[in-house]
Structure formats: structure tokens, C-alpha cells
Amino acid sequence: MKLIRIGVLGMLLAACAAPQPTRPPSAPAHPSDFPAAFYREAAAAGRAVYQIDPTRSLGTVYAYRRGSLAKLGHDHVIASHAIQGYGLVGRDTKDARADLYVPLASLVIDEPALRRSAGFEGQLRADEVAATRVHMLESVLQAGRYPFLQLHADWAKHGRDKVLKVTIRLHGITRSYRVPVRYSRSRDSLTASGQIRIRQTDFGMTPYSVLGGALGVKDELRLRFSIVATPIGGGRNPLMTFASPAQGCNACQQADTDGARGSAEKGASAPPRSMHHGGGEVLVLYSLASIPMTIRPVPTMNRVLSSKPTIL
């Protein structure tokens, strides 16, 4: 009996041992078909474009163990603190949309605080985390070939109950879901949160399994997201406010009048101080002649996260 136990433990250790990682080709900065140009043009046209703040946004994936030997395994929580993308807000919900992506190289696994908040028992050793990460990255996600998770969202229902139509592309396969979401928007931020349940096999991935299925990971994964986005150009601008559609023209005229009066007092000419937003909103810039006002276009997507790839 003792020899049998030793044999089972030996097989488990062999299954969890980290394979020698292959060096994947350098991942691009963003998906080749990511619609950054659309959001640049929308921002340049004065529409309400928001950029996701990765430092305040979080995506998490919960993977659960299964099988008759499940007690010998672990549940896992995988997180991304590097969600990238944009959202467009319009007066008509059919004009609103969002596009984001997650570089799989940005994922981290089993952070202690996230394991505690998920109610997962114990903490994993560093070598266990590394072994799980490498195996899932190379054998499950094939992140060297498919380096991003991409998501596109439109409103499916926008009323008392808010529902998004979400399209996810992962592992080269695209699936669509209807996702209830908690959503709010203020002058200086937009927030959205919700969760999705997906199956690995729906994306052509094979869930981890050893010992004839006695120990493995459930096919279903739970994805949770909490997104914070800010208006293009950074955080809240104390010289910026929004006027309702009914107030639009008057607000623009008043802003320009105030700007002209302030500039006349300073002995300078007054440039236009207001810009119409698409969808009926008006962005009013209140400025002093001594403060240069610049509306910047959407920045190009040139940040590359170079940490070692992690896995779902």
C-alpha cells in the first residue's frame, strides 16, 4: 500500500513539474486588428471616448479542481492588471461600444490577496505557481501562437437592467455572450463590472487532466471584470464639464463669452473654448488665457508588457 501511495505522489509531481519553457517569438504590442484608429478618429471628432485605466481595472479568472483526487490539487485564481482598451459613449445606446484586450503575458497566478478573497485554502509554493503557469501557458492557451484575449462589447439592453452583448476571442476562436453589467458614468470616469462563465472546450482548449481524469481542472471557468476608464487626456480636468443636449448651444456660447471676457482682461485674443460631442453632449472647456488648452488625440498603442507569460 505504501508503494502505491509513493507511486501516485510521484506521478502527481511529474505531472506538475514545469516543462522547460520554449522562447516564444516577441509578442506584438497589441492585436493587429485592434480598432485603435476608430477611437482616435472618434476622439478627434469630439465624441466621448474613454480609455481604460489598467492600474484601476482588474480581470480575474477562477479555475476549479475536479476528480476523485481533487483534494491533492488546488483551485487557482488568475489575474490581469493590464487590461487595455477604449470605450465610446453616445446619446443613443446603439452608438456605444467598447473594445479591450489582455496580453496573456500580463497574467499573474495565485496572488495571496486574491486567493484569500476567493476563499481558496492555503498558499502555493513558488515552484508550484511557476509549474502551473508554464503548463497552462504552453499546453492550454498556446499563448505563443495566440498572445491576446480580445473582447468587444455593445449594449444588448440598456434600461433598469443593463446587459452587454460581449464577444470574446481566445485561442483563435470567437464566442458571444449576454452579460448583465453594473455600469456608472460620471464627469471624470466610467466604471463597469460583471462576470461571465465560459467553457475551455468552447475555445478549442483541453482542460488540464492527469491520471485518467482522477485529477484535473473543470471545463468551466468563471471570469470577473471590474473596469475603470477615464476621458481621453487623463483623469478629471477641473476646467472641464459636460452640458446636457438641451443646454448645448447656450453652454458653448457662455463658455466662449467667458473666455473672451477673461482674455480681454488679460489683453489677449480668445480661442474657442467649447467642442461639441457626438451623441448630443457638449464638452465645455473653461480656461484662463494664461492656461494653454490642448485636446490630445488618443495615444497610440505602444506599451508592451514584457513580463513572462502567465496562464489561465
pLDDT at residue 270, as a whole number: 43
Based on the fold, state whether residues 217 and 76 are members of the same structural domain.
Answer: yes
In this prediction the pTM is 0.66
Residue 74 has pLDDT above 90, yes or no: no
For residue 111, the domain's CATH number is 2.40.128.110
Q: Which domain range does residue 130 map to?
A: 15-20+40-231
Based on the fold, state whether residues 223 and 271 are members of the same structural domain.
Answer: no
pLDDT band at 239; cut points 50, 70, 90: very low
Is residue 312 within 8 Å of residue 221, measured between CB atoms? yes
Structural domain includes residue 134: yes
Structural domain includes residue 293: no
Structural domain includes residue 32: no
Based on the fold, state whether residues 89 and 57 are members of the same structural domain.
Answer: yes
Based on the fold, state whether residues 248 and 118 are members of the same structural domain.
Answer: no
Cα R_g (the chain), whole angstroms: 24
Based on the fold, state whether residues 69 and 195 are members of the same structural domain.
Answer: yes
Structural domain includes residue 276: yes
Range from 124-138, 188-202, 227-241 that averages highest in pLDDT: 188-202
Among 233, 295, 284, 293, CA closest to 258: 284
Structural domain includes residue 94: yes
| Torsion angle defined by CA atoms of residues 297, 300, 306 and 307, in that order, rounded to the nearest 10 degrees | 40
Question: How many structural domains compose the chain?
Answer: 2
pLDDT at residue 14, as a whole number: 38
Based on the fold, state whether residues 112 and 210 are members of the same structural domain.
Answer: yes
Based on the fold, state whether residues 84 and 162 are members of the same structural domain.
Answer: yes
User: In this structure, what are the phi and psi dihedrals at residue 63, rounded to the nearest 5 degrees?
Assistant: -115, 130
Structural domain includes residue 170: yes
The residue type found at 163 is: V
Strands (E) located in the chain: 48-52, 58-63, 65-66, 76-80, 84-89, 97-103, 108-109, 148-158, 162-170, 173-185, 190-199, 209-210, 215-217, 220-231, 240-243, 274-276, 282-285
Structural domain includes residue 290: no
Structural domain includes residue 121: yes
